[in-house]
Structure 1
Amino acid sequence: MTGSETSPSFRLAYVPGVTPAKWVRIWNERLPDVPLHLLQVSAAEASDVLRDGGADAGLLRLPTDRTDLSAIPLYTETTVVVVPKDHLVAAVDEVSAEDLADEIVLHPLDDTLDWEHPPGRPAIERPATTPDALELVAAGIGLLVVPQSLARLYHRKDLTYRPVTDTPASRVALSWREDRTTDLVDDFIGIVRGRTVNSTRGRRSAAPAEPQRTRTDQGGARRKPAAGKATGRNPRRGSGGPKGGGRRGRPRRQG
């Protein structure tokens, strides 16, 4: 190996709430010689990290700035409202956006939901981050609507959450630079899409199986028997019957 050569590795960025553990485990099983490095980034900076070459691919939330980026949507999250445990919302299974019309609903600057008209009444100031907004919810200042994974990530014992209908949903996608679709990026795409290691669509496939033995030596010309093997004839009788007209019947008794 020359001084300019380096061992291959793969850098995967991911935003808060997204859990890449399953895909990382599969990667380590299939490509144990290629280390995968995880890089947690904020939702706001995820696209720029990919565009600037800080990561080979990223798990981010849509919508986002996709200039020069490719993206494959993976799944859609449930949207929930986070409330204090003693709030009226905690007594029901789910609420609608209309049910929150009279509530102060916090809208942090790092909010990832694509709102056209956020529900509820706006707060005087927007919190800087989702964790900051949750501190205000715990203080009884307002409620917070977020993807369910963020409610779980920032769980507090004094807070709970319920699903909210009629609100935008957060979509998680795998993204990478269009002009940097490397073999390793293609490998990771195959993993998140559920391709097996033997899939013909994947770049890496298992070693070809040993070809099965054909029957050309059995269905064509007949094979000669090995020396000393029986050919269907009685070796003691040859090809004809008993020689010399041998007698048949009961043997004569000797006197």
Structure 2
Amino acid sequence: MPQETRLEPIRLGFVRGVAPSKWAERWQRASTQVLELVPVSLGEVEAARTSVDVLLERTLPGETPPGTDPAQQVRHAVRLYEEQVALVIDAGHELASQKSLTVEELALVRLLDHPDHGKSWPAAEPWSDPSWMPKNAQMTLELVSTGTGAALMSQPLAQHLSKKREHAVLTVAAHGKTSLDGSSIWATWQRERDRDDVQQLIGFLRGRTARSSR
């Protein structure tokens, strides 16, 4: 009898704050091909774009993933869902006992500028020396824990990186017509990797609509 062809595992990378387990379980039930989940740390996103078959990555509101501009496209991209925005404050802050706050209440805190602060969000206080700006979300939360200020960022990312003894994570709730656009999670992959198995995986990922929120 002819031997069954064994497919190479398909590698799905995911950035911090993204939970791919449900997709992986669905894939396992439907396919004999192994799905390898590859966690991607804050400093590894650029390298992951070429080391995995499909990458689940985050962009700020209104932005698209690198390499997907139609004029110079080297990657395909599908937007999966929008994330909730959260405010992270130090655990000793007077607002730390709250679970949420409104956009208007953000005026009560000093917002730190950092790379994950959306341009459409309330303005953060600029650094007198730009070199003092934290390089990533982890460094931002380290500053927040000292009581220096507060930070707006993706709620799943904030919950993933924060420490209960040092931080409080408050949902920024919509109040009337005032709300904040959240970060987006995309599935992206290199054009040369646009194979049948990648397309099948993208179909599984798109089971969550672009309008779904977390």
TM-score using structure 2 length: 0.74
CA 1:103–1:121: 2 relative to 1, 3 Å = farther
Q: Which residue of 1 aligns with 2:153?
A: 146
Separation of aligned partners in 2, 1:175 and 1:6: 25
Moved over 6 A (4+): none
Residue in structure 1 matched with residue 96 of structure 2 by the alignment: 90
In the alignment, the residues of structure 2 paired with residue 38 and residue 15 of structure 1 have an alpha-carbon distance, to the nearest angstrom, of: 11
Aligned partners of 1:82 and 1:161 also within 8 Å: yes
Taking a change above 3 Å as real, the CA distance of residues 147 and 14 of structure 1, as seen in their structure-2 partners, is same
**Structure 1 equivalent of residue 8 of structure 2:** 8
The one-letter amino acid of 2:126's match is: P
Deviation per CA, 1:35-91: give whole Å up to 9, x if none: 2222223567536633xx311111111332123222111111110100123323335
For 1:27, the equivalent position in structure 2 comes to 27
Aligned equivalent of 2:18: 18
Distance in 1 (alpha carbons) for counterparts of 2:108 and 2:124? 6
Deviation at 1:161, TM superposition (A): 1.7
Question: Which of 75, 78, 86 lines up with 1:80 in the alignment?
Answer: 86
Tell me, in whole angstroms, the C-alpha distance in 1 between the residues paired with 2:140 and 2:109. Answer: 15
| Cα RMSD for the two superposed structures | 2.7
The one-letter code of the counterpart of 1:169 is G
Pair 1:189–1:14, CA change in 2 (3 A): same
Q: How do 1:65-214 and structure 2 match up within 5 A?
A: 65=66, 66=68, 67-90=73-96, 92=98, 93-96=100-103, 98-101=104-107, 103-109=109-115, 111=116, 113-116=117-120, 119-124=123-128, 125-158=132-165, 159-164=167-172, 166-194=179-207
Point out the structure with max Rg over C-alpha: 1
TM-score by length of 1: 0.63
Q: How many residues are matched?
A: 185
Query: What percent identity do the matched residue pairs reach?
Result: 29
Q: Deviations over 1:106-153 (max 9, x none)?
A: 2334x2x54156524234421122111111111111111110101110
Measured in 2, the distance between the counterparts of 1:140 and 1:58 equals 35
- 2 CA distance for matches of 1:123 and 1:88? 24
Which AA in structure 2 matches 1:41? Answer: V
Q: Secondary structure at the residue paired with 2:77?
A: strand
Task: Check conservation: 1:100, 1:120, Cα contact below 8 A.
Answer: no
CA distance in 2, matches of 1:71, 1:122: 32
SS in 1 for 2:76: strand
Match of 2:54 in 1: 57
**Which whole-Å CA distance do the structure 1 matches of 2:88 and 2:124 have between them?**
13
Q: Which of structures 1 and 2 has the larger relative contact order (alpha carbons within 8 angstroms, sep 6+)? A: 2
- Unaligned runs of 5+ residues in structure 1 are 196-255
Tell me: CA distance 1:121–1:103, structure 2 relative to 1, closer, same or farther (3 Å). farther
One-letter code of the match for 1:24?
A
